[in-house]
């Protein structure tokens, strides 16, 4: 929601008027955080929408009493027309409908919705996919400690993108209403942590799984790579047939030597070289630029998570693993016979906690009917990842 500033207005006054933390107003209106606002400028009020209410037979006092709003709030919004007035309404329910096949356009649409209503979030392209789709990172918060989450490293695990976007929506809702999520007060984490989310690492592959061969735009023979099968439900790789979570220089040579197939395929091919794929390289550069405190990568399936790599994990990883296990019921696994994953590389390079969370149980892609249960389990881990 936007208002037009009047003589003598400040963000502190708006904070009191709309009962919203001043820090959110400051982040939504950079450059106007201190002192009196310039008169006549548009000011973003996050977490509110306006609804039109008939003014026929009613005064501003009547509408204010009915909506439990100060008259000054109505006057500030004050887009009065002949027969209606815009009434500010606090957003108290999630805005996103994520219970649908979650392809790339779904992500773009939902990010537009969230950035419009919560303008203090930052959305940045960190690179492009093979087919030129923007790889988007969302950042929320003010803290120097940056905690990173990602989803859809594997194409047919797109439900992880839906989980992350639902969690982001719920987190923003809790912050603007000074509420809790999974029993955790969210505002302190907004102030002390910066949350980094890449909801969809492999947008080309996700679109291929959901939309079929037309998603390849005629540039890659995905039917041939898929052994003639026109159904792509088992496809994990990017559009070039490279498994993005086998692309990292953490004993990549071992995976290259032992992995089958030896050429582009729906899954497991680690590429001809490490970091040959733009999606994998973008994620590496992001970790180096942001200097993440920890990394949590969402995958499916198995109801377990992996938290160690070759003895490089720090001592506090074990503490976090125990907490994740206790909260979610997922099984903690320290080591598996696997290399070249994003979590593996991060732990090896930074000596900081990294986790691969295998959400849900079944056959990928997990059906949407599993989403409520998966979210109920995963939100406990996602919140614990901020708290510990």
pLDDT in tens, 97-140: 998 999 999 999 999 999 999 999 999 999 999 999 999 999 99
Which of 255, 277, 358, 377 does the annotation list as catalytic? 358
Q: Which of 42, 65, 90 is the last residue of a domain?
A: 90
pLDDT digits (tens, 9 = 90+) for 159-218: 999 999 999 999 999 999 999 999 999 999 999 999 999 999 999 999 999 999 999 999
Q: Indicate if 182 and 40 belong to the same structural domain.
A: no
CA distances from 293 to 152, 167, 251, 386 (A): 21, 20, 23, 10
Q: Indicate if 293 and 381 belong to the same structural domain.
A: yes
For the chain, which residues score pLDDT lower than 70?
54-60, 67, 78-83
Q: Indicate if 84 and 109 belong to the same structural domain.
A: no
| Measured CA angle at 269 (ends 264, 275), to 5 deg | 100
* 329 belongs to a structural domain: yes
* 352 belongs to a structural domain: yes
Range of the domain at 23: 2-90
Q: Which of 64, 90, 116 is the last residue of a domain?
A: 90
Q: How many domains does the chain have?
A: 2
Q: What was the pLDDT predicted at 83?
A: 65
Q: Which of 66, 90, 114 is the last residue of a domain?
A: 90
For this structure, is 325 an active site residue?
Answer: no
Q: Indicate if 44 and 144 belong to the same structural domain.
A: no
* 357 belongs to a structural domain: yes
CA dihedral 330, 336, 340, 344 (to 10 degrees): 60
Give SS3 for 192: helix
Residue 378: φ, ψ to 5°: -75, -30
Q: What was the pLDDT predicted at 56?
A: 60
* 296 belongs to a structural domain: yes
Q: Indicate if 186 and 321 belong to the same structural domain.
A: yes
Q: Indicate if 191 and 289 belong to the same structural domain.
A: yes
User: From CA 288, how far away is CA 373, in angstroms rounded?
Assistant: 34
Helices 342-350/278-290 angle, 10° precision: 30
Q: Indicate if 200 and 333 belong to the same structural domain.
A: yes
Q: Indicate if 82 and 122 belong to the same structural domain.
A: no
Q: Indicate if 119 and 74 belong to the same structural domain.
A: no
- Return the closest-CA partner of residue 190 out of 207, 204, 173: 173
* 173 belongs to a structural domain: yes
Q: Indicate if 123 and 145 belong to the same structural domain.
A: yes
CA distances from 319 to 99, 207, 325, 353 (A): 33, 37, 10, 10
pTM comes to 0.95
Q: What was the pLDDT predicted at 143?
A: 96
* 220 belongs to a structural domain: no
* 250 belongs to a structural domain: no
* 213 belongs to a structural domain: no
Strands 193-198 and 184-185: unpaired
Q: Indicate if 114 and 38 belong to the same structural domain.
A: no
Asked whether 127 and 282 are in contact (CB, 8 A), the reply is yes
Residues 6+ apart with CB under 8 A from 224: none
CB neighbour class for 259 (10 Å; exposed up to 12, middle 13-18, buried from 19)? middle
């Amino acid at each position: 929601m936007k208002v037009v500033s009047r003589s003598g207005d400040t963000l502190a006054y708006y904070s009191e008027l709309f009962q919203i933390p001043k820090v959110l107003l400051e982040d939504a209106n950079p450059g106007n955080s201190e002192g009196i606002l310039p008169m006549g400028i548009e000011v973003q009020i996050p977490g509110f929408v306006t609804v039109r209410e008939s003014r026929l037979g009613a005064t501003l006092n009547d509408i204010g009493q009915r909506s439990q709003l100060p008259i000054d709030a109505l006057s500030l919004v004050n887009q009065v027309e002949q027969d209606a007035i815009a009434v500010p309404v606090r957003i108290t329910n999630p805005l996103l409908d994520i219970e649908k096949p979650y392809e790339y356009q779904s992500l773009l649409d939902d990010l537009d919705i969230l950035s419009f209503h919560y303008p203090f979030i930052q959305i940045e392209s960190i690179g492009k996919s093979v087919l030129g789709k923007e790889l988007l990172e969302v950042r929320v918060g003010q803290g120097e400690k940056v905690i990173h989450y990602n989803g859809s490293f594997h194409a047919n695990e797109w439900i992880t993108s839906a989980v992350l976007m639902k969690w982001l929506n719920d987190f923003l809702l809790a912050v603007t209403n000074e509420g809790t999520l999974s029993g955790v007060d969210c505002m302190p984490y907004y102030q002390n942590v910066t949350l980094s989310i890449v909801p969809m690492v492999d947008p080309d592959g996700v679109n291929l799984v959901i939309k079929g061969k037309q998603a390849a735009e005629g540039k890659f023979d995905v039917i041939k790579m898929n052994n003639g099968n026109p159904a792509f439900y088992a496809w994990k790789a990017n559009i070039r047939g490279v498994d993005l979570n086998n692309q990292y220089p953490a004993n990549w040579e071992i995976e290259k030597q032992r992995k089958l197939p030896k050429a582009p395929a729906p899954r497991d091919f680690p590429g001809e070289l490490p970091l040959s794929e733009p999606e994998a390289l973008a994620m590496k550069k992001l970790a180096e630029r942001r200097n993440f405190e920890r990394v949590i990568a969402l995958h499916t399936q198995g109801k377990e998570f992996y938290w160690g790599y070759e003895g490089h994990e720090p001592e506090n990883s074990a503490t976090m693993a125990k907490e994740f296990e206790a909260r979610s019921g997922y099984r903690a696994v320290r080591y598996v016979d696997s290399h070249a994953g994003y979590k593996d590389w991060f732990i090896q390079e930074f000596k900081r906690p990294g986790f691969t969370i295998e959400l849900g149980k079944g056959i990928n892609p997990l059906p949407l009917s599993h989403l409520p249960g998966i979210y109920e389990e995963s939100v406990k881990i996602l919140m614990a990842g901020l708290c510990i």
